[in-house]
Amino acid sequence: MLTYQRKPVSLSLISTDLPIWSIVETGATLYHKDQDQFHILLHEPAIIDREPSGIDDPTTLPSSSKPRLLWLEVSPSRIIMTMQGNGKYCYRHVWERGVYGLCRYWLQNEALTLHHQLRLRNFTRDLKVEGRPLPDYLRLEYELWSEQLQLGHYVMELEIHH
């Protein structure tokens, strides 16, 4: 039986070898699908596009931006994360412990008619899902690859606050 709860969450992504660090604090809906299988939906703030300029001027920011929906399918051995809804690009990552998974990014033009796909690979070093009956902590360590070029080591954590 599908049951759900609304909870505050913290989602962080950190690169251990590049200057990349991001954290999102928001609300999420947790769906208990089957034993040890969950869906987690959350709205991530939109990426704000800016035209590069020599002066930091907050008036160059767009007046409105579309939120992004992140959908995580979680089990003890695999996490699938899909981002959709901002109109310019979306992505899907598949992580499975000890396996090379796929990362796909879809790019669209302003008319939303042209689709270009970028495919990368990831290698999942470690995957932890903690908490019962609903998860309260996820930790994912992975490497991102493009062909033979490594694009960094990353740690993604999701804390579900009760």
**What is 3-46+65-160's CATH number, 3.30.70.270, 2.60.40.10, 2.40.128.20, 3.40.50.300?**
2.40.128.20
H/E element, 43: strand 37-44
Do the Cβ atoms of 73 and 80 come closer than 8 Å? Answer: yes
Please list the ranges in the chain whose pLDDT falls under 70. Answer: 1-3, 45-67, 85-87, 109-115
Among 134, 145, 144, CA closest to 155: 144
Q: What is the pLDDT of residue 148?
A: 92
The ranges assigned to domains in the chain are 3-46+65-160
Alpha-carbon gap, residue 4 to 34, rounded angstroms: 12
Q: What is the pLDDT of residue 134?
A: 80
Q: What is the pLDDT of residue 18?
A: 92
Q: What is the pLDDT of residue 85?
A: 66
**In 49-136, where do the E strands start and end?**
68-74, 78-84, 89-96, 100-108, 115-130
Say what the pTM is: 0.80
